[in-house]
Amino acid sequence: MKKRWRISLFLIIGFFQISLVLRSQDTAQLAVRLSVQFRSEADRSMNIMATAVAKINSRLSTVPGLLIKFYLDEESENNLIGASHTDSNGKADVSIPASLLSKWNESDKHTLIASSKDTLHFSSSSNDITVGKCKIVIDTLGGSEKHRIQITALAKSNDTWIPIKDMEILIGVKRLAGSVLKFTEDGSFTTDSSGKVVVELTDTFIKGDENGKIILLAKCEDNDDFGTVISEKEVHWGKKVGLKSDFFQNRTLWSTRFRTPIWLLVLVYGMSIGIWATIFYVFRQIYKIKKAGQVIN
């Protein structure tokens, strides 16, 4: 009897300990890792992006719905760039507001900070990157039958723009939906000691808009010192593409119903006549069979 009582007591204690362990695992906060990126696009916007990931069920997964605050140089309310919740891919981004542009212009380098607070399931986290100021200048060169482009990469140092050597830059033509028509197979070129690279646009039949305008694009992506830098320039080197004034006046499939192609009208009406003729013929034969049956009777 005592032996059974002891076994029961040990089982109760064991189940209680296991439940405590499981409960502690369920309520334990998971560690979040933030990665920070910087993107400067065509002198129009400067964006700071962060990606939140955590190890969930032994797998590294993105963390959606996490509030991340972004700061310039230090975590203070005066230096708050903005705050954003991560999307379904664990990404959040903000733009540097006009109120902080004066602080941004005070130095050639800045530290961008991304920070998240404790939540029910995730512990607080913080990470930062230091980026310098960089710009990519696109110039067009004459003196040749082919279109030539000169790309110059410059970094700001002590209020002076100096050339960047050995910077890898993707060069191409910007297309719809953000895609890039590359000049070579990989599209990448490396600047020389003067921070320049010269390329030729060999394809002279690139389609532009109705005025022949295309957008040249130069992009340095995920650079360790400057982040992602993008520059664009509009040129009228493309083939003019536009709608003709009589585009919808011809008998085509994309015209109005009053401009339907003749062959399509013949096909549809011919099928309709054939179907109704077959139905009429079947009913006529049924009528004849019924009438013949009445004569025999």
**How large is the C-alpha radius of gyration of the chain?**
35
pLDDT in tens, 208-257: 777 788 889 999 998 999 999 999 998 888 887 765 666 667 788 777 77
Confidence (pLDDT) at 146:
74
Q: What is the mean pLDDT of the chain?
A: 83
Residue found under tokens 């975590």: 75
Residue type, 158: N
Place of tokens 């530290």: 111
Cβ neighbour number for residue 179 with a 10 Å cutoff: 10
Sign of the Cα torsion 51, 52, 56, 60 reads: positive
Average pLDDT over residues 56-73: 91
What integer is the mean pLDDT of 115-123? 90
Tens of pLDDT along 277-293? 999 999 999 988 888 87
Specify the residue for token string 């020389």: 192
Q: Select the more confidently predicted residue: 32 or 9.
A: 32
pLDDT at 111: 94
Residue 258 DSSP class = G
End-to-end CA distance of the chain: 102
Cα dist. 123→23, 30, 48, 74, 88 in Å?
Answer: 17, 6, 22, 20, 19
Give, in order, the Cα–Cα distances in Å from 217 to each of 191, 202, 249, 294: 15, 16, 38, 87
Q: Please check whether residue 259 is in contact with residue 251, taking contact to mean a CB–CB distance below 8 angstroms.
A: yes
Mean pLDDT, rounded, for 195-208: 80
Q: Which residue has the tokens 């995920």?
A: 222
Task: List the structure tokens of 154.
Answer: 């410059």
- Which range has the top average pLDDT, 137-141, 198-202, 271-275? 271-275
Per the listing, tokens 């690279």 go with 197
- Residue 22 pLDDT greater than 70, yes or no: no
